[in-house]
Structure 1
């Protein structure tokens, strides 16, 4: 559903949903399931869950129903919320995958989660019929529809969420289940709504059909003074007068609250919904096609009035000046606010800007090398006029990737991991190019030490951690291609220059007669560690040959180091440097 504008296309999108026949097929499957119910089950005082798998020509349908048929009392008796921490304490953390660092908790409707737990064995067997746990893919060859009415709809929603977590990440949208509920009460709080919306595709896998006068969809919003329940997915509001699709959760909440009153509310069965769907289908056939896709007037208000009328509001002139007018005004402000936010955040435009900034830095790096100095030292010492301009590029890239990493960290574990792998190459290039500039800026300030503790941004740490997790799977000695291309690489350890700066400080401490014995001992140990570190990087062809340029901070360190080491000192790195083997290194022949 998310490929359509969330508000203005509501009427046309609703027509498309009706025309697709999925609503009628879902209603039919639920009605067939009800017809198969044992009469003794309908007399039982205990709710039970039943399901049916139906194979259609263009889809596979799983229908859920409760016995006896659900009533308002069944819903209200189990209408409190159960937190994710309580579920964990009760040894039923099945939906713990919805938790993340940015969204550590959520709550689910008690009657729904209790039924799911009681019938978990049967639901697990059903899942095994349609899902391969080895390949993590669905076993059905057509679109999978999961559906249910009232409390059966809440089971359908939870079952779909469970399936979504177990399906291997795929860009093929038809390989994801699609959940259609009829008259289902809300099943969770804002934590659940946020957890679902954080997944890039999950929110669009839910369509909740809510009839204008049905009590159940908004029962927890209208029956509680401070409702904690929040909707998710797309809502298909309908009546015999028409239908409308709404995705925005705030707007959905307003409509659920506004369309249900104690006087007008009814408990509507699946047969009522089936009747509405059939009526909408026949109405759509007779509808003048010229009305579809007409341009929207500049003001949102006329379109909003049309949409409210479509779902059953009887709007008179007097009403427009009172309660309905207040609702429309608030709705209009909300949509205008959202439009401004969307205008301010254009992801494609931002991505293009990021690419341009990276290209500028790559050009800056090549330009510095042509002048005989590495870009790290040029920026640190501000040798050229252009060095100051680099700060602007660096800030844009830093802000973009810092927010991107923070957003990834908030995503639930499975989707976050998939996104990290997708963007890892770009993120690693960014870190290797930009973090040395941050290190240069840090050590440009007199007396600064220990960048790792006091200067490093957390998003660099996470990018490095994710990259190491990935490369551990591919670990091995450098191949010929890596050796031959070493002249043009970015130094792999983005903190290499931090280690160089700390080594320079250690040399200074050893030269300084005022340094204490313990300071000098610590400095010698640090230099021994640094020598081994650099040699490891060279053996792996992991540093750019730019470190050997005449004006390089590394070359300055080597000169300082030679002045303080004893003539008997011998190490692989001193041998490498004294014999100028860095010339062979640059050609990939070391």
Structure 2
């Protein structure tokens, strides 16, 4: 028996075999939300939870064309693009079914019991049972973050013939969180289900409902099971429709991988909606001859889903159309010895032979077993090339951020802050007043540092950096140091030039455009996510000065909140709440040493506002004592 599947150390042969057994056992009890078995042998002890599939079309597509919607961030707060605060897209029908399982079953109770007892949970499923296993795993990873100190064992998800369930942000987030290796997806070469959601529901007309019944092994109709019917136009037409749509998606993706512009493909993309669904996790393609090809690169997996099911001739459509359904329905028989696994990791993908040169090495034979054409191999190499370029981009940025020049700029701003404090001036106010040559030099350093972080943000926007980038501790540390030190200068510069009069407040929006630069908004979210904060703060320790400026305008400059000659009660009440929140936050920030006490110097913008603030807004609060 194999000890492991490659570097995925927790996948042992016995575990996979048990997962297969459980996945098929769940089919026999479709009336249950899930089935559970405990294995008390071994260390750690294991709990297997398997979900049944559904043959109902409503459990696959909820709306046209593809049925995707933003993921429920209450359930899955990590499944988003952190910096841009963009949630992943998830198949609505799968999410709704999972939410029903959570509300109507004991799933969360069973998971808590297993986690509390330090047992390893193995979630598994076949067909549309697989998305339930995937979402249950992600929910567990969200609720029970595993660390060396808490002793929790991370859950494992093993699926068989799983459809795609989320978009590229879904894949991106799982890689950023280092969760991808916890998901193993076994796919038979011609199985149609992993490709189905690359097609819109509208492309099937009335064909999806009868086909979906074929996915349910308990369906009582035997006629459709017959080879004569299976080989009819029903299965071949269905296969052709799915692969036609898969071709559009993968061709568009390949043109980006290869850096080419195909006007026909771009025209299709502009006028014909393309599926948003993308692979994630580790895929194991079963060639049918006992070999298993392991791929982790999601761009490469997408190409393989198309090219590995390509046909040599038109005459094969009927035969492969039936086979694409039959392979999905047939229980997998896996050869789990290590000698039967071929790994297409980064190095192997980059050096993939473009043609079959007759070599008998494992990589060449695996490509032949999957029927990969020269075009397919070129696309796989391009997927690896894109990943390599992202790593190169990160390396170059790392060299810049670690350079003596950048470190010197940061230290000069820090020194500027210290010098101003020695002069009994908060550096925010010194920079806002711009009365010395030191202020000018600090401004030069601010602009130089901002340019570097604007470059980083731009590369993030274009997906030109690795998925793991936003979650790397070293980058969060760099970003937080920069933000806390430099953003107060940006705020001071904003109000020094009275830009709020034209563009609105620093923290607000005008005409849908945010004034606060993205280099600070994004990096604040990185920090908050790393701290596992559920909600983004409306302002942080690096830009609270903007809140001070705005409150000063409302409470003092704006005739103390008078409206039509009298105090507006709503304005006063809302302002009181904002003042109380700000005072509390400043105390916490100073106690935690993320804001220095120079903000409390007499004559600072903060203290000038506080001393002039009418008592009705203070509501018994004090900034220096007893609060501080």
Once the 2 structures are TM-superposed, how far is the Cα of residue 328 of structure 1 from its aligned partner?
Answer: 1.5
Question: Which of 333, 339, 345 is the matching residue for 1:274?
Answer: 333
Once the 2 structures are TM-superposed, how far is the Cα of residue 210 of structure 1 from its aligned partner?
Answer: 1.8
Question: Which of 257, 262, 285 is the matching residue for 1:237?
Answer: 285
Deviation digits for residues 210-247 of structure 1 (CA, Å, limit 9, x no counterpart)? 23354443455554243534322111123346333222
Question: Which of 539, 545, 550 is the matching residue for 1:494?
Answer: 545
Q: For residue 124 of structure 2, what is the aligned residue in structure 1? A: 147
Q: For residue 87 of structure 2, what is the aligned residue in structure 1? A: 103
TM-score, normalised to structure 2, is 0.55
Deviation digits for residues 74-94 of structure 1 (CA, Å, limit 9, x no counterpart)? 7695684236999999xx999
5 Å-filtered alignment, 1:75-94, equals 80-82=60-62
Q: Give the root-mean-square deviation of aligned CA atoms.
A: 6.4
Q: For residue 26 of structure 1, what is the aligned residue in structure 2? A: 16
Question: Which of 381, 389, 402 is the matching residue for 1:340?
Answer: 389
Q: For residue 169 of structure 1, what is the aligned residue in structure 2? A: 145
Measure, in 1, the Cα distance between the counterparts of 2:108 and 2:427: 56
Q: For residue 301 of structure 1, what is the aligned residue in structure 2? A: 352
Measure, in 2, the Cα distance between the counterparts of 1:155 and 1:500: 48
Measure, in 2, the Cα distance between the counterparts of 1:424 and 1:23: 38
2:428 equivalent to 1:376: yes
Measure, in 2, the Cα distance between the counterparts of 1:556 and 1:97: 40
Q: Is the 8 A contact 2:413 2:442 kept in 1?
A: no
Report how many residues are paired.
475
Q: For residue 128 of structure 1, what is the aligned residue in structure 2? A: 109
2:380 equivalent to 1:328: no
Segments of 5+ residues of structure 2 without an aligned counterpart are 199-238, 247-274, 312-316, 463-469, 534-540, 591-595, 616-622
| Inter-CA distance 403–547: structure 2 relative to 1 (3 Å threshold) | farther
2:274 equivalent to 1:226: no
SS in structure 1 at match of 2:122: strand
Once the 2 structures are TM-superposed, how far is the Cα of residue 254 of structure 1 from its aligned partner?
Answer: 1.5
Q: Is the 8 A contact 2:171 2:279 kept in 1?
A: no
5 Å-filtered alignment, 1:352-367, equals 352=402, 358-367=410-419
| Inter-CA distance 75–324: structure 2 relative to 1 (3 Å threshold) | farther
2:155 equivalent to 1:185: no
SS in structure 2 at match of 1:327: helix
Measure, in 1, the Cα distance between the counterparts of 2:428 and 2:374: 62
Question: Which of 181, 186, 198 is the matching residue for 1:209?
Answer: 186
Once the 2 structures are TM-superposed, how far is the Cα of residue 555 of structure 1 from its aligned partner?
Answer: 11
Q: For residue 57 of structure 1, what is the aligned residue in structure 2? A: 42
SS in structure 2 at match of 1:156: helix
Q: For residue 474 of structure 1, what is the aligned residue in structure 2? A: none
Once the 2 structures are TM-superposed, how far is the Cα of residue 324 of structure 1 from its aligned partner?
Answer: 0.7
Measure, in 1, the Cα distance between the counterparts of 2:86 and 2:410: 29
SS in structure 2 at match of 1:57: coil
Measure, in 2, the Cα distance between the counterparts of 1:142 and 1:537: 45
Q: For residue 442 of structure 2, what is the aligned residue in structure 1? A: 387
Once the 2 structures are TM-superposed, how far is the Cα of residue 179 of structure 1 from its aligned partner?
Answer: 0.3
SS in structure 2 at match of 1:331: helix
Once the 2 structures are TM-superposed, how far is the Cα of residue 496 of structure 1 from its aligned partner?
Answer: 7.7
Measure, in 2, the Cα distance between the counterparts of 1:399 and 1:76: 48
Deviation digits for residues 468-519 of structure 1 (CA, Å, limit 9, x no counterpart)? x99xxxxxxxxxxxxxxxxxxx99943487479969x969x9xxxxxxxx99
Measure, in 2, the Cα distance between the counterparts of 1:95 and 1:537: 32
Measure, in 2, the Cα distance between the counterparts of 1:191 and 1:379: 43
Q: Is the 8 A contact 2:164 2:195 kept in 1?
A: no
Q: Is the 8 A contact 1:443 1:501 kept in 2?
A: no
Q: Is the 8 A contact 1:54 1:60 kept in 2?
A: yes
Q: For residue 564 of structure 1, what is the aligned residue in structure 2? A: none
Measure, in 2, the Cα distance between the counterparts of 1:118 and 1:442: 49
TM-score, normalised to structure 1, is 0.58
| Inter-CA distance 24–151: structure 2 relative to 1 (3 Å threshold) | farther
Q: For residue 579 of structure 1, what is the aligned residue in structure 2? A: none
Please identify the structure whose Cα radius of gyration is greater: 1
Measure, in 1, the Cα distance between the counterparts of 2:548 and 2:282: 51
5 Å-filtered alignment, 1:434-445, equals 434-445=486-497
Deviation digits for residues 535-584 of structure 1 (CA, Å, limit 9, x no counterpart)? x979x88784577689x7899999xx9xxxxxxxx99xxxxxxxxxx9xx
Measure, in 1, the Cα distance between the counterparts of 2:443 and 2:389: 33
Segments of 5+ residues of structure 1 without an aligned counterpart are 1-11, 408-417, 471-489, 510-517, 562-569, 572-581
Measure, in 1, the Cα distance between the counterparts of 2:73 and 2:484: 40
